[in-house]
Amino acid sequence: MLEILKSGAVVNFFLVILGGILGMLFKKGIPERARNILMQGMALCVMYIGVTGIFEDGINVLVVILSVALGAIVGELIDLDGLVNRLGEKIEKRFNKKGGNTKIAEGFVTATLLFCVGAMTVVGSIDSGISGDNATLYSKSLIDCVSAAVFASTLGIGVALSSVSVLVIEGTLTLLAKVVEPILTAEIISHMSVIGSLLIISLSLNMLGLTKIKVMNLLPAIFLPMIFCLFM
């Protein structure tokens, strides 16, 4: 039981909740105009995280293009974006029966993408599953805690609820890591990280109001390098 509680995915789960609660506590003390500029500042930070993650050595651009293209088709056919948004809306109705507030769904979807598609999620979960090394996920947990506090101050409780997504996605990747270990080369992990970073950049553009990219529908692209890298 103690080992489970010490796993990176579980620690990340609790620290996102903690950050979300702290952000909610301080929310009332921040004026609306300050929250708006804070949100824009966070969007720029998210963009920085994405941009710094796309510079990996030995990347085959064709693998990235094919993965994003096929991943977009698969994601659009499944409509992951619609599924997650509908889930966010259901959560919103539970917490806001009077209606008129879309912040819960927005916070849930935005935080889920931010906390779950980055390079640290992929690499950290794989390390945790294969070698039991949780160092990367522990570091990510601290970063997510601070980020959750900032985002919750503007987007509300939906950010804290994204902790469930973190637990499910990181937990699943950790459990599957042993199964896919034979094909998880450093090259494949690098390609997965680059695609995750591209998704984070897309998220930052949405946060700035410049685009309306259905980032969640691009999520399958992260896993496709496991196929394409084997043949290229």
pLDDT in tens, 132-143: 888 889 989 988
Q: Find tokens 């995915």 and name the residue.
A: 9
Mean pLDDT of 99-119: 76
Annotated domain spans of the chain: 2-231
Give yes or no for residue 95 having a pLDDT over 70.
Answer: no
Give yes or no for residue 63 having a pLDDT over 90.
Answer: yes
Burial of 160: CB neighbours in 10 Å, binned 0-12, 13-18, 19+: buried
Note the Cα 13 to chain centre separation in Å: 12
Give yes or no for residue 5 having a pLDDT over 60.
Answer: no
The confidence score (pLDDT) of residue 68 equals 95
Mean pLDDT of 177-206: 87
Q: How far is CA 198 from CA 49, 113, 133, 202, in A?
A: 10, 12, 26, 6
Overall pTM surpassing 0.75 (yes/no):
yes
Give yes or no for residue 86 having a pLDDT over 60.
Answer: yes
Tokens linked to 33: 């105009």
Mean pLDDT of 205-217: 88
Higher pLDDT, 110 or 18: 18
| Angle, helix 103-116 to helix 186-207, in steps of 10 degrees | 160
The average confidence (pLDDT) of the chain is: 84
Split at pLDDT 50, 70, 90, the class of 102 is: low
Burial of 56: CB neighbours in 10 Å, binned 0-12, 13-18, 19+: middle
208 vs 63: CA distance, rounded Å = 29
The confidence score (pLDDT) of residue 93 equals 74
